[in-house]
A and B are shown apart, each in its own frame.
Chain A
């Protein structure tokens, strides 16, 4: 059954004095997602609405935004399940604003790519999962879909523009867990920095908000533990290997 829902959408174009919100009425079905509604607005009401999306199924990470004050993937956020008469849609925080719902992801990717974590995991399956009959080997990608939600929710990224950020630090810890030929001492040196693992103040917002179960805060703490262990080992045995 169709149901009309009010969407209040953040609007901003380069050169505007300040952002504002536009209100749209959208017909929704029980399975309508926020991304469906936004693309419908663009199709039928305002083609100038800018948003970013690709896969429509929580894999590409491009549709991350704030819906009713919380960071989510719009493509898997059901409008009716939000349970509000009005849905407020805003761009991610802690990133430069490009237009409407689109933020600049280049700083995020610059940090993330500096870690250079391989995309395919050594550990094949999610713990507890089983291979389908007849499948001899499965390829498992890293969990992070590079959506930027963890940086948007992070209170430290909110005050320190140089903070490496939860996603990049989680990637660094994945290199520590499975180096896969990467330069581990270099990766650890990036993380072992005042704007790296030591900047985190354990609000755990990233872990709670991450749509892909990466547990960035958990990785940051494990990375700290490894770095502290490495320092202690160096203290007592100066030639000990770093970090492991």
Chain B
């Protein structure tokens, strides 16, 4: 007879073994397409949040040129330039994966969806690197 011990399990409650919305963010055991699914959701919410933020910032135009210029100077702070890189990454992930999904979900290139993901991923990384260099060289120049 072997040793037997009881340990608490990190499980969903019984009868509720459904992954749920938080399950979307659970990356354990996920494969490439699952990662793309998760990233698409996270970046979608991020880009939506940014859109509202952007509209709030634009509303400062109504306060006149001096307050607008002050705001623009504030955005040249290195922290905002780094956030610009994050924004670019989010837009690239959501945009490129969106094109892939549009093609695949219309039943086109379905058997090549993984290759398409890798190809778009490569394009995204290259554009992100170029963009990051541009943004961050502005930080260096400051």
Residues on A lying within 8 angstroms of B by beta carbon are 8, 10-12, 16, 18-26, 44-46, 66, 69-71, 90-97, 103, 153, 155, 157-159, 161, 200-205, 207-209, 217-218, 221-222, 224-226, 228
- In the assembled complex, 25 residue pairs joining A and B whose CB atoms fall closer than 8 Å, in A order, are A11-B9, A18-B8, A19-B11, A19-B14, A25-B2, A45-B1, A69-B29, A71-B29, A93-B19, A93-B23, A97-B17, A155-B37, A158-B18, A158-B23, A159-B18, A202-B37, A203-B37, A204-B32, A204-B34, A205-B34, A209-B31, A217-B33, A217-B110, A222-B110, A225-B107
In the assembled complex, how far is the CB of residue B35 from the closest CB belonging to chain A, in whole angstroms? 9
Residues on B lying within 8 angstroms of A by beta carbon are 1-9, 11, 13-15, 17-21, 23-24, 28-34, 36-37, 40, 101, 104-108, 110-111, 113-114
Check A25 against B6 for contact (C-beta < 8 Å).
no
Contact residues in B for A218 (Cβ distance below 8 Å) = 110-111
Check B14 against A161 for contact (C-beta < 8 Å).
no
Query: 9 shortest A-B CB distances, which residue pairs?
Result: A225-B107, A158-B19, A204-B33, A203-B37, A25-B2, A69-B29, A21-B9, A221-B110, A158-B23
In the assembled complex, how far is the CB of residue B34 from the closest CB belonging to chain A, in whole angstroms? 5
Contact residues in A for B29 (Cβ distance below 8 Å) = 66, 69-71, 153
Q: Which of A26, A70, A91, A159 contacts B19 (CB 8 A)?
A: A159
A24-B4, A204-B31 provided; 14 other pairs, C-beta below 8 A?
A18-B8, A19-B11, A23-B6, A23-B7, A25-B2, A45-B2, A94-B19, A155-B37, A159-B20, A159-B24, A201-B40, A204-B34, A225-B106, A228-B106
Contact residues in A for B7 (Cβ distance below 8 Å) = 8, 20-23
Check A20 against B9 for contact (C-beta < 8 Å).
yes
Q: Which of A45, A69, A95, A224 contacts B4 (CB 8 A)?
A: A45
Closest residue to A206 on the B side, CB-wise?
B33
Contact residues in B for A45 (Cβ distance below 8 Å) = 1-2, 4
